[in-house]
Amino acid sequence: MTAQAPLALAFPLRGSQLIEASAGTGKTFTISALYLRLVLGHGGEAAGFGRELLPPQILVVTFTDAATKELRERIRTRLAEAARFFRDETSAPDGLIVELREQYPVEQWAACANRLDIAAQWMDEAAVSTIHSWCQRMLREHAFDSGSLFTQTLETDHSDLLGQVLRDYWRLFCYPMQGDALNWVRSHWVGPAELMPRVRAMFGNERRDPPEQTPSELIEACLQERREALVQIKAPWREWAAQLREICLQGVASKSVDGRKMQARFFEPWFEKISAWAEDESVEQLDIGTGFTRLTPEGMSEAWKGAAPDHPGLDAMAGLKASLDALPSPDAAVLQHAAQWVGARFEEEKRRRAEMGFDDMLLRLDSALQSDGGERLATLIREQFPVALIDEFQDTDPVQYRIFESIYRIEANDPETGLFLIGDPKQAIYAFRGADIYTYLRARQATSGRLHTLGTNFRSSQAMVSAVNHVFLQAEQRPQGQGPSCFAKRMARTRCHSWRWPPRGARSNCWSTASRCRHLTSGNCLRNSRCPGPSIASIRRRLAPLRLSACSMAASRGAVGLSVSSQR
């Protein structure tokens, strides 16, 4: 019997359950075994669903078309192999099938084989699909309850339509602008083409109505707030500049300062710029170079031989640059207005044309489930698919999670349904596509007490597994890695997916895991104190002793991305 068999056979086939499965731990094997048990109605009162199911009743969701095709064929093959073994026509394909058959009386083997055969023949009708295609199917099959059109065209590229809507926005809101608002838009947005990528990036999770204020009103109000904030920042510096200049001159004259660090030729230009900046209301930014660090309590202490002078301007200088950078900006509010108006008009135009994009499939089903008739729609879908298995759940975004939560009530752990979430937070690599590790952690909390782990890896070397276990053990021991985001230790061989150099917020002599898991590793999992920024070549040399079967790297913006897998 394989190491996965105990979980695959004892796993409760009802309620909401979470399986954490690292790469190489037999995730697909386990999914196909659970499918087989659901078809047979295996498990009894303790761990069974309560009735036999056929492929059209078991929803299996994964995130790529290729994975969908592979998983469908793996399940079909597993069903057919099990059917032949129950008839004694072939040897057991694995130990799990042996133990499963032993749990049925001999006189039931033929009936089980027939059931498995029927299921294998039904696999062409099986509900194994990507999240997008399944949402599209639900909108089509439940058009009345979802408020969708019966016939809609899937359009994979809406760039032309989006460009048209953006030009409409520009004509409606930007052409009539005058004064400061017009100047701001010209300098920050330029035109509709430049605005498009910024607006597109804000599409996704939810569609809301735009603010009641026009962009021109938002810009003018924010710029006025910015001017008032700048006046308050500048107000004391008219006096402080003169006072601090006098302090520095006295320090030089009395030889109370280190002449190498404090000279009139250094600080006189600083105070001239500060005075000019404080007097001119139209000037926002101040550039005094190293003056930002020297004219602070720490900088003066370093330059003064004895006790450094105390002055409120020194304390203010320590935060002056940050205060200027934090001045109110219209950008976020106006961009939000543009995104919401464009999003609403974009959606209206697609509905008028009876078209959908990929994101629309999810957003429209989510919207229907949140509407007044959402509970009826959720009930219909639950009756159609009493059990759902969600593969690669770590790549789920908030909208996808809300869809499954609305249908299967994850935290309620409804015994009349089954929702099995399978994923590995260490492989949460699709943040750029909207996946959110915090959504995974939310599901982890919602399934508290119902977490299962595939703890043995069969793909990688012991050395690689030990290294990865060490990395994530450090994560669990740090405040940033404690709580619901801890990871179970692997017992055998596992796969390490990615590393990033340098980690954001970390010291320059350390390594850390990439993407959304950076916060779990606290930035210094594997330390390299001799090399402040390793090159790709040097990384390859250091990894050579691990006998990697695959190693790909790329450098971008000073960061090195690395993906590796080990030999057996």
Tokens encoding 359 = 């994101």
Q: 5-148+355-454: which CATH number, 1.10.30.50, 3.40.50.300, 3.30.2320.80, 1.10.10.10?
A: 3.40.50.300
pLDDT for residue 568 is more than 50: no
User: In 3D, which of 498, 504, 538, 184 has the Cα closest to residue 334?
Assistant: 184
Neighbours of 64 (CB within 10 A): 12
pTM reported for the whole predicted model: 0.65
The answer to whether 525 and 468 are in contact (CB under 8 A) is no
User: In 3D, which of 538, 206, 199 has the Cα closest to residue 362?
Assistant: 206
Q: Which residue has the tokens 């299962």?
A: 452
pLDDT for residue 513 is more than 60: no
pLDDT for residue 194 is more than 80: yes
pLDDT for residue 483 is more than 90: no
The answer to whether 465 and 472 are in contact (CB under 8 A) is no
Measure Cα distances from 322 to 293, 296, 326, 332 in Å. 12, 14, 6, 18
End-to-end CA distance of the chain: 21
- The 3-state secondary structure of 185-214, one letter per residue: HHHHCCCHHHHHHHHHHCCCCCCCCCCCCC
The answer to whether 525 and 471 are in contact (CB under 8 A) is yes
Binned at pLDDT 50, 70 and 90, residue 515 comes out as: very low
Once rounded to an integer, what is the mean pLDDT over residues 341-358? 86
- Amino acid 184: pLDDT: 92
Neighbours of 180 (CB within 10 A): 16
The answer to whether 427 and 394 are in contact (CB under 8 A) is yes
Once rounded to an integer, what is the mean pLDDT over residues 325-354? 89
- Amino acid 77: pLDDT: 96
Where in the chain do CATH 3.40.50.300 domains reside?
A: 5-148+355-454
- Amino acid 190: pLDDT: 86
**Residue 502: cis peptide before it, omega within 30 degrees of 0:** yes
pLDDT for residue 561 is more than 50: no
Name the residue with higher pLDDT: 424 or 148: 424
Binned at pLDDT 50, 70 and 90, residue 21 comes out as: confident
Name the residue with higher pLDDT: 53 or 529: 53
- Amino acid 563: pLDDT: 41
Average pLDDT, the chain: 81
- Strand ranges inside 313-407, DSSP E: 355-356, 387-390
Helix (H, G, I), strand (E, B) or coil at 553: strand
Specify the range with the lowest mean pLDDT, choosing from 181-185, 318-322, 489-493. Answer: 489-493
